[in-house]
Structure 1
C-alpha cells in the first residue's frame, strides 16, 4: 500500500483482508514457459524487479549504473548462494498463460566449460518443476540450448551443453512437457531473407542444428548449397543423404553466391 495512506490512516480497510485472500489463492500454472538467463551483472536492473524505467527499454549500459556496483556485487553474491531459478514475469493473453523464468547464470559463465554441469542441473530442475506444475511447452532461451566456445578472437556456438534440449528428453523419456528451442523459427526467418531467384548459397561458419536444417530446406527447394571446406561438405552430405546433388564444394568465393554465415554468437548474418 502507499506509505502515506498508511501514515495518515487513509488506506482502504479491506486491504489487509484482500491481501490475506490473495495469499490463499492457488498458484497459477502457465501454459507456456520461456527459460532464459541473466546476461550481464547490470541486467538485474532491467528486470521487472529492478527499475521500471530501465525494464521498459532495451538493455544498454548506463554510466550511473557504475555507481550502484555495491548493489550489483551483492546481487551477484546472492544469485551465487541462492542458485535457483526464479520467475521474471507473468503474462496472460486471453486464455493463454505465459511465464518467463531465469537461470541465475550470466553470459560469461556459458563460455566456461566447467560451468556446463551446474547450468545443466539448473535447467533440468526447471524442466522437472515445470512438468510437475503441468506446463505444456517450455522454450529454452538461446544460451540454455548450447554452450559457447571461445577461441580468441572468435566465438563459436556448439552443442556441448545439452544438444538443444535433447539431453533432458533422453534422460526423461516420459516427459509430457514439450521442450522446444526455436530452431524452426530461426530456419524460417533465415530462408525468408534469401532473395527469390537465388540458385546457389554459400554456407559458412559453425555447422549447427539450424545450419543443417537450412541446408536441408534449401536442397528441397532446388537451391544448391556450397561450402569451402571438404570436411563441412562431408558432414552435410552425411546429414542430407539422398540430396548430395544439391551440395557443392566451392574453390573460392564467387559473386553469384548468396553468403550465409553460420551461427556466430547466436545470430545469422547474411
Structure 2
C-alpha cells in the first residue's frame, strides 16, 4: 500500500459535502450573540469569518464565470483547450483552503485577545500590511514556491496543482494541505503584523483577503483581461503586478515566473520568462490564433426554461458538469436569471456555451437566447427564425462546415425542419443539419429485433413518419395514432406496396391495450399511459419526456449517443444527459462532419439513409447512450 506524504491530504477530504459542518460552531456563536448579546453580534469575529468565507467564495465564482464566458473572451483566451471532467472533479474541493483559514483565524482569535475589539478602519494599518506584503510575504512565497519545485517536493506536493492543464480561478485553490498552510502564513503575516503594531482594523482584513483572492484568481483565469497599453505607458508596472499570461507561462514552462503577484522577485531571482511581455501583448490584443477561434462544427441549442438557463459552465462550472436537475439552491437565483434573460433577448443573437475537440476538429455549442415556451407563441416565430438564420449566416461567414439544429430550432411548424433557411439562402457553404436521421436510427435500434407490433404516437411527425416507414419494411405492424386520415394515407402511399398493410391507423389509445412496445412522439398523460399493458416499454422522442407514471412499465430515455472516448475538453453535460452523452440530433451533426458529407439534411427524413447514418456513427466510435461503459462518476453534488 502506497503511503501518502505527510500533510499532503486534507483531514476532512472523506467528509464530502459534510465538511461544511465545520462552520457549525461559527454559526452557533453568531446565533448566540444575536439573541443573547444583541449589541455585540455585529462585531462578532465569527460573523466576519462567515461573511468573509461567503465573499471570498464569490470572488472565485465571479472570476470563474468570467473565465468561462466564451462569448466574451474566446479571442483572448491563453490556453485554447477546454476544461474536461477530470480537471473539474480534481478541483471539486478547491475551497478547502477557505475552511482551513477560517479555523486558523479562529485559533488566532483565541490566542490574541486584542483581536476582539478592532476599529472599523485604520489607514496606517493598511499601509503597514502593504509594506509587510512586499517585504515579507512576496519573497517568502517566491522562496517556498521554488522550493516546492524540487523533485521530491514537487512529486509529493506541488504536482497536484500542475495537473490542471487549463488554469482557471478555481485552480488557484487546488493544492495540498502543506502548501496551503504555508500560503496561510503568507496571507496572515501582513494582517497579524498590522494588528501587533496596534493599527489593525476590520477594513484591513476584508480589503487584504479579498484583494489577495482576486489577484490569485486573476493569475489563473486563463483570459488576458489586462490591456497591454498600460505596460507600454507605465513600464515599471510590469514588475509590480503580474498578468494571466505571466502566470500561465509558469504552468507551461515551470522553471520560470514563480512570483506571488510581483514579477520584481522573478527579475531579482533570474527566473523571469523573457517571453512574458511579448505574449501578454499578443493575447491582450486578441492576436491569439489570429484573433479567431473557428469551429468546424456548431450545435445550435436553445434554453429550455429559467432553471435550466443556469446550467452553463459560465454560471456554475460544477453544476454544469452534472446532468441537469432542478435544485433548491437555484430558486434564489431565479430573479437574477430573469433579468439576464431580458438582457439576452434584447442584445444577444447567439452566444457560445461550451466547446470540445474530437479528432482534431473543434466543436462548439451555441445557444439562441430564447426559452422553450417562446417557440409555441405564434407571434414569436418570425423573431426566433431571424435569430436562427443569423446564427447560420454567421457560421457560414466564419467557415464552419456543419451546423446542427437542436430540438425546437428545427420545429416543423417553425421552419420546416430547417428547409426555410436553405430555400432562402441556396448558396450556403455550411451544411445545415437537423440530425433527425440519427435520432430515428437510435430509436429504431433500441426496439427488440423480435418485435412484431408497435404503437406510435406523433405518427405523422417528421420522426414518426420515418419510424413508421422503416418498421413496415421490416414487416412490423405499426399502429399509427392520428385523427388525420389524409396524413396517414399520404405516409402509407410512401411505403412499398407489399408493406402498406403493416401500417394501421388508430384514433384511440385503447387500440394499444395489448401492445407492449410504445413509441411516444407526442406527450401522453398518465391516463393515456394506463392503456398500456403491464410490462410495456415506452420508447420516446418527445420533449419534455413523459412522466414515469407506470411502475410496471419501462421508460426509455430520449434518443442520445455517447461521444467517442478520445473527445477532449468536454466538461459540461448537455441538459439532462450523462457525462459524454449528447442528444442524437447533436451526434447526427458530428457524424455529418466526420464523414465529410456536403449535402444539407433538412426537411423530411430520408428513410434509406437511416442505416447508413447509424453505421457511420458506430464506425466513428459513437455508441448508444444506453450501452457501453459509462464515464467515471462525479464527486457527490454540492451547491457551487
Matched, 1:3 2:203: no
SS of 1:161 mapped into structure 2: helix
Query: Judging changes above 3 Å, is the alpha-carbon distance between structure 1 residues 239 and 68 closer, same or farther for their aligned structure 2 residues?
Result: same
Question: Is the 1:35–1:140 contact (alpha carbons within 8 Å) kept by the matching residues of 2?
Answer: yes
The TM-score with structure 2 as length reference comes to 0.37
Of 4, 24, 33, the residue aligned with 2:287 is: 24
Q: Which residue of 2 aligns with 1:66?
A: 331
The answer to which structure has the higher helix fraction is 2
- What does 1:50-61 align with in structure 2 at a 5 Å threshold? 50-61=315-326
Query: Judging changes above 3 Å, is the alpha-carbon distance between structure 1 residues 15 and 122 closer, same or farther for their aligned structure 2 residues?
Result: farther
Q: Which residue of 2 aligns with 1:197?
A: 450
Give me the CA root mean square deviation.
2.6
Cα distance in 1, alignment partners of residues 458 and 336 from structure 2: 40
Cα distance in 2, alignment partners of residues 49 and 15 from structure 1: 27
Q: Which residue of 1 aligns with 2:45?
A: none
CA deviation profile, 1:115-141 (whole Å, cap 9, x unmatched): 111110000010011011111111101
Unaligned 5+ residue runs, structure 2? 1-168, 170-213, 220-240, 243-259, 264-271, 524-541, 547-554, 557-640
Question: Is the 1:212–1:239 contact (alpha carbons within 8 Å) kept by the matching residues of 2?
Answer: no
Cα offset, 1:200, TM superposition? 2.2
Question: Is the 1:30–1:98 contact (alpha carbons within 8 Å) kept by the matching residues of 2?
Answer: yes
SS of 2:443 mapped into structure 1: helix
The answer to which structure has the higher strand fraction is 1
Question: Is the 1:208–1:263 contact (alpha carbons within 8 Å) kept by the matching residues of 2?
Answer: no
Cα offset, 1:97, TM superposition? 1.1
Higher mean C-alpha deviation, range 10-19 or range 63-72: 10-19
Query: Judging changes above 3 Å, is the alpha-carbon distance between structure 1 residues 193 and 67 closer, same or farther for their aligned structure 2 residues?
Result: same
The number of aligned residues is: 258
Q: Which residue of 1 aligns with 2:376?
A: 111
Higher mean C-alpha deviation, range 43-52 or range 221-230: 221-230
Cα distance in 2, alignment partners of residues 128 and 245 from structure 1: 45
Question: Is the 1:207–1:262 contact (alpha carbons within 8 Å) kept by the matching residues of 2?
Answer: no
The TM-score with structure 1 as length reference comes to 0.84
Query: Judging changes above 3 Å, is the alpha-carbon distance between structure 1 residues 244 and 44 closer, same or farther for their aligned structure 2 residues?
Result: closer
Question: Is the 2:473–2:496 contact (alpha carbons within 8 Å) kept by the matching residues of 1?
Answer: no
Q: Which residue of 1 aligns with 2:403?
A: 138
Q: Which residue of 2 aligns with 1:163?
A: 416
SS of 2:300 mapped into structure 1: strand
Q: Which residue of 2 aligns with 1:253?
A: 512
Q: Which residue of 1 aligns with 2:488?
A: 233
Matched, 1:43 2:308: yes
Cα offset, 1:95, TM superposition? 1.4
Higher mean C-alpha deviation, range 44-53 or range 7-16: 7-16
CA deviation profile, 1:63-85 (whole Å, cap 9, x unmatched): 23232344223312211221311
Cα distance in 1, alignment partners of residues 350 and 306 from structure 2: 16
Question: Is the 2:480–2:505 contact (alpha carbons within 8 Å) kept by the matching residues of 1?
Answer: yes
